[in-house]
Structure 1
Amino acid sequence: MLLALTGCTQRAHDRNQETITEAAARTEQAGLAMTVPGTLAAGFADLQSTVKGRIGMAIMPVGGDRAVSFGAWTSGPAWSTMKVPLTIAALRRNPALSTYAAANAITQSDNAAADVLWQSLGTSQEAAQAVEAVLREGGDAKTAVPAARARADASAFGQADWALTDQVEFASRLPCLAQSGTVVNLMQQITPQQRWGLGAFNNAQYKGGWGPDPQGAYLVRQFGLVPAAGGQFAVAFAAQPDSGVFNDGMTLLDRMTTLITQHLGELSGGKCQG
């Protein structure tokens, strides 16, 4: 079941009232049952109605097989969030690769370190295929990683169009992937300057990504894993403020994190199967 709530108008709110109060019922997920509280759905609709811009969020338990999504923003450039599958691919290809490059690419979102990882995968085409292979293994059957730069000022992999639902599905399988432990651990060591959004949770493992469109307006996004009863659940969210200002996007991610915090006790986590 995919729940999409815009909450932009009273009419839309009324039309979705049954969905909201029914709490997205129980979503069966490979032996797991995640209850998405109607209060969270209603809270997101209320939040979105106050936002000057577009926001989106998707959640899914680890080990589950369906995402629940909210909001008008659904897909866009991955930016530095794509450094997670990139780093996994690079460490698999060359275990002796400098841990400095891997650590800096994740914990500091260092672009030069990420370029080292990309180049270690061979030609641009080989690198793109290697990162895509990690995405496929993580359940993302759709996202294409470009081999060539679409923009001179941005990495090729960072401009991959990564939908929130595909990203959260990958996140829900991330801790279950072979040789992912190093990267998942690094996602818990994010530099203090980047501990906004999911960084508010104790022991969350996450990665942010942000950048301007050709007109200079910022998209800010983040995905990761949050501890909850029964294990962990995956979250992916994004904000594109009308102002185009990075700090405004970061603030919107903080507000979505606060909303999740208010309903954390109502959400169920999961664990890797088998």
Structure 2
Amino acid sequence: MIRKRAWASAVACAAVTLAGCSAAPESPLQVVDTPSATPAPGADADLLEAAIERIEAATDTQIGLALFDGSTILSRGTIASLPAWSTIKIPISFAALRHCDYNEAYLEDLITAAIEISDNDATNQLWACLQDAGGAQELVRKEIGSRVDIAWGRTPWPFASQARYAWELSQRDDVNDNVIIGHMRNIAKEQSWGLGRVGIPFKGGWGDIDTDGSYQSRQMGFGRIGGVTYGIAIGAVSEAGSMTDTTDALDAIAEVLASFNN
């Protein structure tokens, strides 16, 4: 359960599109079909910084956030990078569509499972086919871009780089009917915390660290904040090892981002 935050209460029901509000308001973070014709204020860096400090204190977590609007990175919080966890399943899936020789129906089944329910066995199958197609790590690196070299597993993916990648997804000509982005709009309910509560395409990842007992959760997605299209990357770490604290933190960040549209 999210701890009480007076500064977010006004947007709670509007932000939570998957939490059973009786009315179904328009999603406060909106996917755009085309870039905005005129500049808009976007997210307020100072307000974000103050909100993150409050959320960190309330949830006993460390938080990282990066927003990219196509030209500028806005980064806030006390951490700048985490292991990719299951967020890497998005570029793996895009690479698989380009390079895997599985039959179309089987490939679609694997991608659906990898993204919508974050199935690791399905992702292993995608990774294996990419290995056969020329080397999975290299093909996924090309999908992400030269900003980061990443593999299936716990390889770090900085929030700033991930926000750039998410923004690039928002600019695709087929953003409204791309099969992978469609799966990002249909994540399983039990995994739809954080950005999943505000009705935008996203993918999450999570896991614990054996060496220090901490727990990590992170997400990437894209949507409009204050009229500006952003790629979004957020994450939280609980040194006490609480997944609930990390997802509470990401819920709260998503509500703050949504509040810029009110």
Q: Same fold (TM over 0.5)?
A: yes
Structure-to-structure mapping, 1:83-98, within 5 angstroms = 83-94=89-100, 96=104, 97-98=106-107
C-alpha offsets along residues 179-200 of structure 1, whole Å, 9 cap, x if unaligned? Answer: 8721111100001111110111
Q: Which moved more, 1:72-81 or 1:225-234?
A: 225-234
1:52 aligns with 2:60: yes
2:150 aligns with: 145
Q: Report the aligned-residue RMSD.
A: 2.5
2:43 aligns with: 36
Return the letter of the residue paired with 1:212. Answer: D
**What percentage of aligned pairs have identical amino acids?**
28
Structure-to-structure mapping, 1:81-160, within 5 angstroms = 81-94=87-100, 96=104, 97-123=106-132, 126-136=135-145, 141-146=146-151, 157-160=152-155
Cα distance between partner residues in 1 of 2:242 and 2:81 = 19
1:67 aligns with 2:73: yes
1:167 aligns with 2:157: no
Return the letter of the residue paired with 2:186. Answer: Q
C-alpha offsets along residues 245-270 of structure 1, whole Å, 9 cap, x if unaligned? Answer: 112111111111122122234xxxxx
2:179 aligns with: 182
Q: Which runs of 5+ in 1 are unaligned?
A: 1-30, 147-156, 266-274
Give the C-alpha shift of residue 178 in structure 1.
7.7
1:226 aligns with: 223
Q: Which runs of 5+ in 2 are unaligned?
A: 1-37
Cα distance between partner residues in 1 of 2:90 and 2:181 = 9
Cα distance between partner residues in 1 of 2:246 and 2:226 = 29
- The TM-score normalised by the length of structure 2 is 0.75
Q: Is the 8 A contact 2:100 2:133 kept in 1?
A: no
Cα distance between partner residues in 1 of 2:133 and 2:214 = 28
Return the letter of the residue paired with 1:128. Answer: Q
1:209 aligns with 2:205: yes
Cα distance between partner residues in 1 of 2:43 and 2:228 = 16
Cα distance between partner residues in 2 of 1:66 and 1:194 = 29
Cα distance between partner residues in 1 of 2:64 and 2:75 = 7
2:261 aligns with: 264
Cα distance between partner residues in 2 of 1:32 and 1:102 = 36
Give the C-alpha shift of residue 55 in structure 1.
0.6
Give the C-alpha shift of residue 125 in structure 1.
7.1
Cα distance between partner residues in 1 of 2:229 and 2:62 = 27
Cα distance between partner residues in 1 of 2:216 and 2:98 = 30
Give the C-alpha shift of residue 227 in structure 1.
3.8
Q: Which moved more, 1:93-102 or 1:171-180?
A: 171-180
Give the C-alpha shift of residue 122 in structure 1.
2.5
Count of aligned residue pairs for this structure pair? 219
Cα distance between partner residues in 2 of 1:263 and 1:179 = 27
- The TM-score normalised by the length of structure 1 is 0.72
1:3 aligns with: none
Q: Which moved more, 1:173-182 or 1:115-124?
A: 173-182
